[in-house]
Amino acid sequence: MNRFRKGVLKQILDEAQRLSAYDVGETIEGLASKLGKDPSEILKLNSNENFFVPLTFLKSILREAVEGVDPRIYPRDEIWELKKGLSEYVNVHPDQIVIGTGSDQLIDIVCRMLLRRGDEAIAISPTFSIYERVTKIQGATYNPIPLKEDFSLDVKAMLDAVTSRTKLMFLCSPNNPTANRFRHEDIKFLAENFDGLVAVDEAYIDFSGGSVISLIERLENLVVFRTFSKIFGLAGLRIGCVIANSELARIIDEKYQMPYSVSLIAVKAALKILDQIEVIQDAVSRIKRERERLINRLNRIYGIHAFNSETNFVLFQVNEDSNIVYKRLLEKGVILRDIGRVLNYENCLRVTVAPSEKMDRFLTCLQEVLG
């Protein structure tokens, strides 16, 4: 065994033991191959993607973006143009926006900026798994605080958990997987009474309303993440932003963000889609209508309880082993996310809200696999 394997490689392997891989679940192509089906026959409802933005519209946007760029040149002015476009959409100054390769990359930057070995981050539980992952990569401690039984924030428990080592607090609002938005008053109270940074992930806020971005001017320790993956239907292009006070945004952008970190084509596509926001607004309206129909239909099925949702997905509980239901649905070419236990609710599954023909097929298959 050479010195590298004994030294640096061993350190890498030892550190990796603390980390878990991000599970993307079954893929369309993988499941189609297993079942001997065409990929077009697979119903993918496990990643909260937006199927309401017309694919023809997005492809036309991409064609225009590709035709309008010189791929030999790094993006420069285009980033500033996107900041200006986004600033009008979210009602902040362009200087308060940092563009990144999806919000996940920016969440990672904030962690790297703040956390060192021995530090601590607090988050709610259950929530998006990426917060734990980026915290542990930094060698910091991740401390999840359970939500209340009604899925609301336990503000007292979160503040009681703060120690001298706590530098960061993660909140996902609306939350994944519980699908509810937290009260402004609770988020404001946490930011006012915590000396560290409060990071609010608003990936799903456009399906709900009530963003906390307006609080950023008064609360300098508050940052908000947004993504183009959900509302804009651009999950495959990987583009997002973090919004903060101007000074903090400048530090993130100049000192921590890598130069040219975002694809020029992704930036151009994002700009073009902001210019046709009425298409997105129509898609959001249809998602909200279909979401309510789906919840009502689920709650009419014996043995199922669907929770209310302010996102583009619905969490529901079944009266059987959720993993067995999940696997039976896979056999029918339907991919959900098996969540399992959510607080005191056993056997929960999560389904993406999709156009009615997809939801009808899902509901039919679900009724067929239930005992």
pLDDT, tens only, 270-329: 999 999 999 999 999 999 999 999 999 999 999 999 999 999 999 999 999 999 999 999
pTM (2 d.p.): 0.94
Strand order in the sheet with 313-318: 304-306, 313-318, 345-352, 337-342
Percent of the chain predicted with pLDDT > 90 = 91
Mean pLDDT of 78-102: 96
DSSP states along 100-141: ESHHHHHHHHHHHHH--TT-EEEEEES--THHHHHHHHTT-E
Give yes or no for residue 200 having a pLDDT over 70: yes
**67-71, 124-128, 317-321, 355-359: which range is least confident on average?**
67-71
Q: How many residues does the chain have?
A: 371
What's residue 115's pLDDT? 97
Does the domain at 21-50+278-369 match CATH 3.90.1150.10? Answer given as yes
What's residue 6's pLDDT? 66
pLDDT in tens, 243-277: 999 999 999 999 999 999 999 999 999 999 999 99
Task: Return the structure tokens found at 322.
Answer: 């959720």
DSSP states along 233-253: S-GGG--EEEE--HHHHHHII
What's residue 228's pLDDT? 96
Distance CA 89, CA 284 (A): 15
Distance CA 106, CA 130 (A): 11
Percent of the chain predicted with pLDDT > 70 = 98
Give yes or no for residue 9 having a pLDDT over 90: no
Task: Return the structure tokens found at 24.
Answer: 């993307």
Q: Count how many Cα atoms sit within 13 Å of the Cα of residue 130 in the half-sphere of its side chain.
A: 19
What's residue 8's pLDDT? 77
Average model confidence (pLDDT) across the chain? 95
Distance CA 174, CA 177 (A): 9
Residues of the chain with CATH 3.90.1150.10: 21-50+278-369
How many other C-beta atoms lie within 10 A of the C-beta of residue 10?
Answer: 12
CATH (residue range 55-275) = 3.40.640.10
Instruction: Give me the helices (H) in the chain, please.
Output: 3-6, 8-16, 28-35, 55-67, 77-90, 102-114, 130-137, 155-160, 184-192, 246-251, 264-274, 277-299, 322-331, 356-369
Q: Tokens 């339907």 identify what position?
A: 334
Residues of the chain with CATH 3.40.640.10: 55-275
pLDDT in tens, 210-226: 999 999 989 999 999 99
pLDDT in tens, 127-184: 999 999 999 999 999 999 999 999 999 999 999 999 999 999 999 999 999 999 999 9
Q: Is the Cβ–Cβ distance between 170 and 199 less than 8 Å? A: yes
Residues contacting 27, CB < 8 A, separation 6+: none
What's residue 4's pLDDT? 56
Distance CA 135, CA 120 (A): 8
Alpha-carbon dihedral 302, 305, 308, 309, rounded to 10 degrees: -90
